[in-house]
Amino acid sequence: MTARIGVVTFPGSLDDRDALRAVRAVGADAVSLWHKDPSLHEVDAVVLPGGFSYGDYLRTGAIARFSPVMDAVIDGAREGLPVLGVCNGFQVLCEAHLLPGALIRNSGLHFVCTDQPLRIESTSTAWTHDYQLGARAVIPIKNGEGRYVADAHTLDLLEAQGRVVARYAGANPNGSMRDIAGVANEAGNVVGLMPHPEHAIDSLTGPGGDGLPFFTSILKALVAA
Amino acid sequence: MSGDRLDSVAHAAATPDVALPFAALGLKDDEYARIREILGRRPTSSELAMYSVMWSEHCSYKSSRRHLRVFGERIPPQAKDILLVGMGENAGVVDVGQGFAVTFKAESHNHPSYVEPYQGAATGVGGIVRDILTMGARPIAVMDSLRFGPADAPDTRRVLPGVVAGIGGYGNCLGLPNVGGEVVFDSSYLGNPLVNALCVGVMRTDGIKLATAPGPGNKVILFGARTGGDGIGGASVLASATFEAEGERKRPAVQVGDPFAEKVLIECCLEIFAEDLVAGIQDLGAAGLSCATSELASAGTGGMRVVLDTVPLRDPTLLPEEILMSESQERMCAVVEPAKVPRFMEICAKWDVTATVIGEVTDTKRLQILWRDELIVDVPPRTVAHEGPLYDRPIARPADLDALNADHANALARPSSAQELRDTLLRLVASPNLADKRWITDQYDRYVLGNTALAMPDDAGVLRLDESTNLGIALAIDGNGRYARLDPYAGAQLALGEAYRNVAASGARPMAITDCLNFGSPEDPEVMWQFTEAIRGIADGCYTLGIPVTGGNVSFYNQTGSTPINPTPVIGVLGVIDDVNHRCSIGFKADADEIYLLGHTRDEFGGSEWAHVVHDHLGGRPPAVDFEAERALAALLVEGAGERIWSSAHDLSDGGLAQALVESCLRGGRGARISLPAGIDPFVVLFSESSSRAIVSLAPSGVAAFETLAASRGVKFSKLGVVEGTRLEFTSQFGVALDELRAASAAVLPGLFH
């Protein structure tokens, strides 16, 4: 048996097909979810993909957060549904208050697309337990508003609870506080990540396969359950 | 436009002597007289608006059309089977096998990008993407060819960051990977930068759509963004005249782009295409509704009736003339059978795309447009869209060309000592044209859609088309204005040869080209000579290489004051690769691999990067063109990559062998030890820009197979050295640490533009 993993398409989602491909690459069933459809169609986990949902109007992720499908995602996440938000998906999760903090304009003010070395800082989430703690992973980032910010208290709490999922190794590409590239909620089922693991599933179309464990982690967790 | 009374057809007929501002709209006296003759009366102000934009140089190709015919007439015999749609449609379509068709095209957005760099460049991307979409294809990647004034000029600092941000802002938000291109600095472009954007799309061979309006009774649907007051007269005012100090005041003629609206429109269109709901389709680009309605009607049954009041507006105060001329972005016009309209509307509603029936196809042979129940346009559509003026402009070889060609580069002081050669190499590596372009290219998403198998700084962009078979395509875009200034025929061919070679070096078989022809004013006979020579060069070159010209774009009036830009034909070459896993990067892959040079090196420095950087010199003759050698080299490059005989391949062009070695070292993160051949000036070996050359690196175990293959293809080869260490070392000459090369190359653009 395998797991059903849904990928939401908002208007302006761009990496939705890529997320579906990554889900299939690890052997899970990939299910397309439409933003206007409030049903999750009995998926076991959800990926909110990268892109510019609603053209980034107002703020990144601010409008997508009110899509009909997000009511189901938010309710599900609170009950333990695994949710991974990548890039714009991370921004949506922050807007939905499923994750703390916010993502603002890169410190260099430009969009940055590069193969980014990361250090995996937590393997206790549903999406990262297939990594070795401290593992180095090269995964592309590509965003204009990827600078993670939160107040000092929140950052201390995230660190204390082991909820920093990944940090930028080497040069910090966007000015994120404490080099944070991804964070988890307290239960570890919801993870937001600025880099794109769906673009690191092979060396043909990406820098290598370093992003695959995000998808094998969730598949193993779901199949084991 | 004519007082408080609507200038209807009836009014125009009743008031034959009313003077219309045709000259201010860019029409010449004789052109206006011809419009009166066609209509048998004076045009209404709306008709005048339509004719003025559609008869502009930008839309009508009135100066270039007679010269471009050669591309359609001289199709190489081996190309006839693969060319599914040729010149004249929105973009050409090529059969790449396995049921896939690929469409690609480059287009200029030069003047808008000078006036308003961000929006000018952004809407340039948007426009070419819609052209590709209109053919029925899913757009899958973009590339761009950019030319600016000197890198350290204040105006380049104004223009370049905005252009780059605009291309990135629009393309990234559309979810299209940017997989390559070129960036060139030259004083020739200081007052007139070139922004040429290329888009490529893919579809099934039976999914091609055409811009035609067949079938009386079929509905004409305008869908996408609402029409606003932006970009009015863009084609006639901006693109079809020289412009000088008043650039600022022309800013309202630049369109404003909304990539989100276009992204949604793309997905909406693809769903509509998949259900085969349109009989014809046209995007709204230059000349907006005037163009779309007249071209659709002209190519179809011949008649169309449009109720202009139904057009959804952003600004309700727009006049009918303005609605017809508006170049508001992200709009499409479809012709749909009545029975299919409800489903069409349903899909638009799903994507929240505004869609409105604005008229229907008729059999009247007239394009009739109503406003407030009065007829304001009543014209034969062909006279607007396809039978515009045709000029045979005077042609004259530039008076200064002989002197320019005689001022050859051989007389320039050359470096000779090891230290001088080393200094020259570092100076070229750190010159803006050859320096690392990551400050620019890192602002573009190269990963989205998940099919990018190669992208800049490799020689070509390589894209997977099919995950089950790994069929892919490669694209490269190149130009060289300095070569073309010295000899436009050869310069165009050298651009063609370079793009062709780049595609082959990536492992793909070159199949077809598109062109973007950037020139000065066609009213200048010397510019027209350059233009006709370049076309002749491209046509002859493509014929010899056996690949067709699928379409392209002409951009005239690129000049500052009376000084035209260097003639700049930019060529995009499309290739096909049977298995994208066999694509070849430029980077050295493994220590001890042997490095070979393919092709002949001659003493050729006319128009070279060395002459430009070190001596600020442009003179002499460009490198010789040898398409037989180019074909043989390309065949070898494709075969060697396919059989995985080598693990890297890199074409030689600007900066010659030295620059190619530096790039292969830096890309692969590996050094090299090179023994320059004896008996030939090391300077010539290192920096000459002779064409039809490449370097490859391969494991020692592959040398025998390589030598056999190269010999069988008749390509000259010579061993240069081996991959090793962390330095680029020229035995008994000089060496440079890769860190020093990288620092010198990478610091240039951030230093200039940060």
Q: Is B443 on the interface with A (CB under 8 A)?
A: yes
pLDDT digits (tens, 9 = 90+) for B674-726: 999 888 999 999 999 999 999 999 999 999 999 999 999 999 999 999 999 99
Q: In the prediction, which pLDDT does B235 show? A: 55
Q: In the prediction, which pLDDT does B632 show? A: 98
Give the C-alpha separation, B298 to B302, whole Å: 5
Where residue A122 falls (left for φ over 0; alpha for ψ -120 to 50; beta otherwise) is beta
pLDDT band at B2 (very low <50, low <70, confident <90, very high): very low
Q: In the prediction, which pLDDT does B241 show? A: 58
Q: In the prediction, which pLDDT does B250 show? A: 52
Between β-strands A29-34 and A45-48, what pairing exists: parallel, antiparallel or unpaired? Answer: unpaired
Q: Is the pLDDT of residue B245 over 50?
A: no
Number of domains within chain A: 1
pLDDT digits (tens, 9 = 90+) for B465-474: 999 999 999 9
User: Among partner residues A17, A113, A144, which is closest to B447 by beta-carbon distance?
Assistant: A113
The CATH number of the domain holding residue A111 is 3.40.50.880
What token pair was written down for A211? 């992003």
Q: In the prediction, which pLDDT does A66 show? A: 87
Domain that holds residue A24: 4-224
Contact B447 A12 (CB under 8 A): no
Residue holding tokens 């957005």? B109
Contact B448 A11 (CB under 8 A): no
Give the C-alpha separation, B456 to B164, whole Å: 15
Task: Say whether the peptide bond before residue A197 is cis (omega within 30 degrees of 0).
Answer: no
Q: Among all residues of A, which ones are annotated catalytic? A: 87, 196, 198
**B579 to chain A: closest CA residue:** A204
Q: Is B126 on the interface with A (CB under 8 A)?
A: no
Q: In the prediction, which pLDDT does B1 show? A: 44
Q: Is B446 on the interface with A (CB under 8 A)?
A: yes
What token pair was written down for B6? 């609507």
pLDDT band at B243 (very low <50, low <70, confident <90, very high): very low
pLDDT digits (tens, 9 = 90+) for B370-408: 999 999 999 999 999 888 899 999 999 999 999 999 999
Give the C-alpha separation, B402 to A57, whole Å: 57
Q: Is the pLDDT of residue B230 over 80?
A: no
User: Among partner residues B350, B449, B580, which is closest to A17 by beta-carbon distance?
Assistant: B449
- C-alpha angle B606/B456/B167, rounded to 5°? 100
pTM of the model: 0.94
- Axis crossing angle, helix B488-505 with helix B627-642, rounded to the nearest 10: 10
Question: How close B175 comes to chain A (CA, Å)?
Answer: 5
Q: In the prediction, which pLDDT does B209 show? A: 85
Spatial contact of B238 and B555, defined as CB atoms under 8 Å apart: no
User: Among partner residues B450, B453, B580, which is closest to A21 by beta-carbon distance?
Assistant: B450
Rg of chain B's alpha carbons, rounded to an integer? 26
Average pLDDT over residues B297-309: 89
Average pLDDT over residues B291-308: 89
Give the C-alpha separation, B240 to A181, whole Å: 49
Instruction: Kindly state the DSSP code that residue B433 receives in the 8-state scheme.
Output: T
Give the C-alpha separation, A13 to B731, whole Å: 53
**Chain A residues interacting with chain B (CB cutoff of 8 angstroms):** 11-12, 14-15, 17-18, 21, 36, 50-52, 54-57, 110-114, 140, 142, 144, 196, 198-199, 204-206
Average pLDDT over residues B559-570: 95
Give the C-alpha separation, B474 to B460, whole Å: 6
Neighbours of B19 (CB within 10 A): 7
- Mean pLDDT score of chain B: 93
Report the candidate in B496, B497, B554, B493 with the shortest Cα–Cα distance to residue B527: B554
Contact B448 A15 (CB under 8 A): yes
Q: In which element (H, E) is residue A83 found?
A: strand A83-86
Q: In the prediction, which pLDDT does B239 show? A: 55
Give the C-alpha separation, B46 to B648, whole Å: 59
pLDDT digits (tens, 9 = 90+) for B49-85: 999 989 988 888 999 999 999 988 888 888 888 988 8
Q: In the prediction, which pLDDT does B246 show? A: 47
Give the C-alpha separation, A167 to A186, whole Å: 18
pLDDT digits (tens, 9 = 90+) for B305-335: 999 999 999 989 898 988 998 888 899 999 9
Contact A205 B260 (CB under 8 A): no
Contact B443 A110 (CB under 8 A): yes
B92: three-class secondary structure by DSSP: strand
Q: In the prediction, which pLDDT does B80 show? A: 82
pLDDT digits (tens, 9 = 90+) for A25-67: 999 999 999 999 999 999 999 999 999 988 888 788 888 888 9
Q: Is the pLDDT of residue B418 over 50?
A: yes
Question: How close A130 comes to chain B (CA, Å)?
Answer: 23
pLDDT digits (tens, 9 = 90+) for B166-200: 999 999 999 999 999 999 999 999 999 999 999 99
Q: Is the pLDDT of residue B4 over 70?
A: no
CB pairs under 8 A between A and B: 87
Q: Among all residues of B, which ones are annotated catalytic? A: 58, 109
Average pLDDT over residues B198-215: 90
A29: three-class secondary structure by DSSP: strand
User: Among partner residues A11, A15, A206, which is closest to B264 by beta-carbon distance?
Assistant: A11
pLDDT digits (tens, 9 = 90+) for B583-608: 999 999 999 999 999 999 999 999 99
Q: Is the pLDDT of residue B240 over 80?
A: no
